[in-house]
Amino acid sequence: MSLLEIKTFGCPVLRQKASSVEEVTDDIRSLVQEMFETMYAAEGIGLAAPQVGMSIRLLIMDVSPSDPEATPTVLVNPEIVSADGEITGEEGCLSLPGVSGEVKRHANIAVRALDENGCSVEYELSEIHSRVAQHEVDHLDGTLVTDHFSTIKRNLLRGQLRKLKREGVRQTPGLIYTTETD
């Protein structure tokens, strides 16, 4: 396995709506393992496939640094089926190094997806689990954490975001997932 390049602000793949995964294959499972290695190396707690250049609806999360009882989670084609409550907190992003800000999210969500074996799963998530899942699902829809920041916060970050964007547009956008048929 190898570490993948994390795409940064300005890389076009981060603004694309990701395609559904038609089938969970060995290639998808290999990508999942590489994504976990990459996320752990970057000291993150969540990572979506577009952040490593794959425009597919796949995300991973492991919030064990905040919740020692948590286990690594893989969500393929995740769909938030219900949400309630509200929490606000500081969020950062591996694709926006050094950038963070206050974001309002749902306190509790139910998410339906496939796991790394292609089996249907449904989770009731709250607190950090809910926040991370919503953040990563945003990536699958081409939404970045900065889109949730206040106008004042975005204005304060303007110079930093411009610099990141210059670097991000030079990154190769990655692969677009397609299914092969024989």
For the chain, which domains are there? 12-168 (3.90.45.10)
pLDDT digits 0-9 by tens, 72-109: 999 999 999 999 999 999 999 999 999 999 999 999 99
DSSP 3-state of 109:
strand
pLDDT band at 170 (very low <50, low <70, confident <90, very high): confident
How far apart are the C-alpha atoms of 182 and 180, rounded to whole Å?
Answer: 7
Q: What is the pTM of this model?
A: 0.91
The residues carrying an active-site annotation are 136
pLDDT digits 0-9 by tens, 25-75: 999 999 999 999 999 999 999 999 999 999 999 999 999 999 999 999 999
pLDDT band at 178 (very low <50, low <70, confident <90, very high): very low
Read off the DSSP letter of residue 117.
T
Sign of the CA dihedral with 72 first, then 78, 81, and 85 last: positive
How far apart are the C-alpha atoms of 113 and 78, rounded to whole Å?
Answer: 4
pLDDT of 182 reads 34
How far apart are the C-alpha atoms of 161 and 167, rounded to whole Å?
Answer: 10
Within 10 A of 99 (CB to CB), how many other CB atoms are there? 19
